[in-house]
Structure 1
């Protein structure tokens, strides 16, 4: 059994995949998955679903969502699912799953290997493990769920870890002087994270290293205009320094 949250939420076994259709049932499942093998209190479920505007029937309704999940697990994934996976544990419930069944844990394990290689000065290993970690992702975390304030904290944290791993991957590739290979990747990253100046800076640098000075200056100007028009900011010292590196690289 696999539980996937790095993209649209999904529960799958070797035969088929299941995703709840009701939005709030999805939210409950997501909260259980993000706290797998830990007690998720009924209070946390209610906070996620309704925040400060919980109805009088919140407890009963939340328990109904748990019942619906158990029922769906049995119908969609087999009799062995249900009570065995979602366990009642006062004051709430536990999603009881084996190690390695959550994509988020697999991502974190691979990212940890990449960081260990980076600390050891192993650029090849860092590049290999960061790419393996990033391949686990299928899109934005919990992409098909209207997250409440509890899940939103998890989503923000996962996004930060993903950006950190992407930055580590770029650093490793630059250490290995794979400049041309990085151009397409960095162009995609600056589109995905338009206000991340570090990615803009590296794009300017790799274009320059690849001998594409005009494109490097154009990338700098695009970043400068974006920061000015959208945020009212000038380019950072590092971004300006990357531009000077391009101008200083003329014969």
Structure 2
């Protein structure tokens, strides 16, 4: 089974889509796919679908959704000639004590591949292999086709899970940009960082990276302007001042020659 989570939900058995169109079965499959090869309890699925006040029919309705998913899996197995002598739908979507488990059968998962590549990229950063880090992290980020589970209605359990995935994406992006900056790709990064800083107006690391890219491109006033925009937003929305590291970066830009690299960038990462 091939599982796509980093964008629209896309689950395929032997290349055939088994992703339902109905919202609640889609939620069930999304939650099982997110935890592929691990059990998901009936309680977790029920909370995801109906929150803290499930209907009395919740358990039987959940069983109906599982049955519907198996009905989608069965023809996918049969159409590819795997319906007999191999796995059945009940072996792909298994009933386990207290819940259900989606058995990927050693298939692919874009989430697992992202995590593998990102971890390798972080290790490359740790040993200062910035070209390899930039390559690995860029490859990891290319797996994303949009917001995680973009077309799935998220309930009380999926919402924080999706936020966590997006934080992982932003962390990988932050480190990839840091690697590119250390490789001297300042001019190339300005447009991307300008968009990201606008999208995440209180993210200090992205602001610091934009400041550095602008400064190293001979745009000191624009770099200082980026700092001021962040400070204004932080004070207005959160009642906070920028961090000491970002303030030191600003002072370094004020004091440094235009072609010098301010020192505190590494401390901000």
- The normalised TM-score by structure 2 is 0.85
Query: What does residue 65 of structure 2 align with?
Result: 65
SS of structure 2 residue aligned to 1:125: helix
8 Å CA contact 1:201–1:238 kept in 2: the answer is: no
How far did residue 13 of structure 1 move?
A: 5.8
Residue 159 of structure 1 is aligned with which of 156, 166, 170? 166
**C-alpha distance 210-99 of structure 1, shift in aligned 2 (>3 A):** farther
- The normalised TM-score by structure 1 is 0.91
How far did residue 223 of structure 1 move?
A: 1.6
Query: What does residue 93 of structure 1 align with?
Result: 100
* Runs of at least 4 residues off by over 3 Å: 12-19
8 Å CA contact 1:5–1:142 kept in 2: the answer is: yes
Mind listing any 5+ residue stretches in structure 2 that lack a counterpart? Answer: 259-269
**C-alpha distance 238-130 of structure 1, shift in aligned 2 (>3 A):** same
Structure 1 CA distance for aligned equivalents of residues 106 and 174 of structure 2: 27
Larger mean Cα displacement after TM superposition, 194-203 or 234-243: 234-243
How far did residue 130 of structure 1 move?
A: 0.6
Query: What does residue 53 of structure 1 align with?
Result: 53
Q: Where do 1:182-193 residues align within 5 Å? A: 182-193=189-200
Deviation string 1:97-141 (CA, Å, 9 cap, x unpaired) is: 134511100100101111121222211111110101111111111
Mind listing any 5+ residue stretches in structure 1 that lack a counterpart? Answer: none
Larger mean Cα displacement after TM superposition, 108-117 or 78-87: 78-87
Structure 2 CA distance for aligned equivalents of residues 24 and 74 of structure 1: 20
8 Å CA contact 1:114–1:129 kept in 2: the answer is: yes
CA-based RMSD of the aligned residues comes to 2.0
Structure 2 CA distance for aligned equivalents of residues 211 and 158 of structure 1: 36
Deviation string 1:188-225 (CA, Å, 9 cap, x unpaired) is: 22123222111111111110011112221222222222
Structure 2 CA distance for aligned equivalents of residues 219 and 99 of structure 1: 47
Structure 1 CA distance for aligned equivalents of residues 201 and 154 of structure 2: 23
Residue 198 of structure 1 is aligned with which of 199, 205, 208? 205
Larger mean Cα displacement after TM superposition, 62-71 or 189-198: 189-198
Residue 114 of structure 1 is aligned with which of 116, 121, 138? 121
8 Å CA contact 2:13–2:77 kept in 1: the answer is: no
**C-alpha distance 155-128 of structure 1, shift in aligned 2 (>3 A):** same
Q: How many residues matched?
A: 250
SS of structure 2 residue aligned to 1:83: helix
